[in-house]
Amino acid sequence: MAERADVVFVDGVRTPFGRAGEKGMYWNTRADDLIVKAMIGLLERNPSLPKDRVDDVAIAATTQVGDQGLTLGRTAAILAGLPLSVPGYAIDRMCAGAMTSVTTTAGGIAFGAYDVAIAGGVEHMGRHPMGFGADPNPRFVAEKLVSGDALNMGLTAERLHDRFPALTKERADRFGMRSQQKVAAAYAAGKIQPDLVPVALRSESGYGLATVDEGLRPETTMEGLAGLKTPFRPHGRVTAGNASPLTDGATVSLLASADAAKELGLTTKMRLVSFAYAGVAPEVMGIGPIPSTEKALKKAGLTIDDIGAFELNEAFAVQVLSLLDHFGIDDDDPRVNPWGGAIALGHPLASSGVRLMIQLARQFEERPDVRYGLTAMCVGLGQGGSVIWENPHYTGKKA
């Protein structure tokens, strides 16, 4: 039997992220058209890849109904112009959908079943709010298998504040403000734009083009954040300013074995080192990335001190802060989300995992002194997902 193949992250792109709802820029855009647009952009950026060499397409969505249903990986592959010989499938691990698309197809590459795969995710939260149309088994709550709070992500975040008094609202607000500031600085420096695929828009006022993320609020201040409502409980600590907004968007990545990438003249932006998922009590799902990161580090034979760049999904500020506190990392550590995160950019559930990877890959290009990076996120219903990557540009010397 062949040895395990090295898996490389060749490239990744995404649509600009839009505000969910009737006032959002994608209100009149289908979810499947968002992922198809991203896939076409990815294929156009990698013209040396023969389309018939794609072995599988995995596309995630959390709410797989309507224009997010019908086995997205297959339908999107056909709509994006891949040959009918290329198969595809859909994945659901709530917020970690795209991350799971990547790790699942990567497992196929490592095993030797695939040479090249496309993995991504899409979420149109305006059309399909999380849990829309779902019918949770009543035994979950009746038999106290999970807390009644477990299906309300905002309440799970409030529970983290309850459990860890050091995770104050002021810290969460400051983290949220800094996310907005860092994204604005990254945009000003041209860091985000190269990996965005423009999307044509149609609205009552005519046609347009989405070229930037819609939810940015660079003017955010601590004073403004202090006055925001706490929608999940009276006198709570979770607000719209320290949590990710409801968002529409799509992400997609190209993965390959190291040998196939070399054969086909494809770039290698990152090398997969290890990944892990873990379960926690659903009512405190935000701590999920802590055990999944510990598992991934152990599998890689690394410690947290070996990680030189962190891309952590900011579903809620308190969730990121809980991981930082656990590992003894400062709130303002420059290794953590240097270009901001989901509080500013948005979190279109099943697509966010690949956004983290896209940003980490760009940072690797600029940081030959960083060898390992981590992408990690909490997952609804009490899970965490973590992926460790190696920088192919690593020299040990600062740029």
Sequence letter at residue 51 = K
* Strand-strand pairing, 116-124 and 56-60: parallel
Within 10 A of 52 (CB to CB), how many other CB atoms are there?
A: 11
Q: Which of 95, 124, 128, 161 is catalytic?
A: 95
In this structure, what are the phi and psi dihedrals at residue 378, rounded to the nearest 5 degrees? -85, 160
Q: Is 347 a catalytic residue?
A: yes
3-class DSSP state for residue 18? strand
How many angstroms separate the CA atoms of 240 and 220, rounded?
Answer: 11
Catalytic residue (one of 124, 128, 378, 393): 378
Return the DSSP state at 150: G
Verify whether residue 235 is a known catalytic residue.
no
Cα torsion 37, 39, 41, 42 to 10°: value is 160
Q: Among residues 124, 128, 161, 347, which one is catalytic?
A: 347
Close Cβ partners of 125 (under 8 Å, ≥ 6 residues apart)? 20, 246, 247, 248, 348, 349
Q: What is the DSSP letter of 297?
A: H
> Is residue 95 annotated as part of the catalytic site, yes or no?
yes
Q: Which CA distances in Å does 378 have to 140, 185, 208, 288, 390?
A: 20, 26, 34, 5, 22
In 3-state terms the chain splits into helix, strand, coil percentages (rounded to 5) of 40, 20, 40
How far is the C-alpha of 286 from the C-alpha of 159, rounded, in Å? Answer: 9
- C-alpha 130/C-alpha 65 separation (Å) is 11
Instruction: Identify whether the C-beta of residue 385 lies closer than 8 Å to the C-beta of residue 379.
Output: yes
Say how far apart CA 327 and CA 332 lie, in whole Å: 14
Determine contact, residues 329/336, Cβ cutoff 8 Å: yes
Indicate which residues carry an active-site annotation: 95, 347, 378
